[in-house]
Amino acid sequence: MKIKITLMVCKNQKNVPFTHPQFFQVYLTDSHQFPSTYMTTKDENQTLSELFSKFFYLDFDWMLTDVVGFRKIDAGEVEVVYASHMAEVLGCNKSGKFLSSQDIGIQNIEIDKYYEELLSKRSRSY
């Protein structure tokens, strides 16, 4: 069985009010996806750390990460979704970018409904 690991990294913009559409943002790769990889012989923490370091200049050890979702994709594959929330750190991403729901709509980026639901639950907790 293949295990897909997906990481949703979220942040709040410090310089805008809570009610502003740019306040809550999520990180998407250059291909407009959440970072993901498949488990190999490494444990969960090593896999997440490598995935995080592929996209960010920060050390994964200081990230607080929670399991926010688990689903069966098909008979041979499951997905575990993790979420992290970080402070705003300028220049922290190697590629990709943080986008608000407004940015995602303007750019016509499609987010899987499953991830939208997880983000909706998550954004209300910040």
Give residue limits of the domains in the chain.
2-123
pLDDT above 90 covers a percentage of the chain that reads: 67
CA distance 67 to 102: 26
Reading phi first (left if > 0) and then psi (alpha if -120 to 50, else beta), residue 6 is in: beta
Q: What is the distance of C-alpha 7 from the center of its chain?
A: 4
For 27, the enclosing helix (H) or strand (E) is strand 24-28
pLDDT, residue 52, reads 95
**Helices (DSSP H) in the chain: which residue ranges?**
44-55, 101-106, 113-123
pLDDT, residue 123, reads 58
pLDDT, residue 122, reads 64
- Rounded to the nearest integer, the mean pLDDT of the chain is 91
pLDDT, residue 6, reads 98
Taking residues 43-57, what's their average pLDDT? Answer: 94
Residue 60 scores a pLDDT above 50: yes
Task: Report helix, strand or coil for 102.
Answer: helix
Residue 54 scores a pLDDT above 90: yes
Q: Are strands 77-86 and 2-12 parallel, antiparallel or unpaired?
A: parallel
Taking residues 89-112, what's their average pLDDT? Answer: 92
Beta strands in 29-76 (DSSP E): 36-38, 65-74
The answer to whether domain 2-123 has CATH 3.90.79.10 is yes
Residue 107 scores a pLDDT above 60: yes
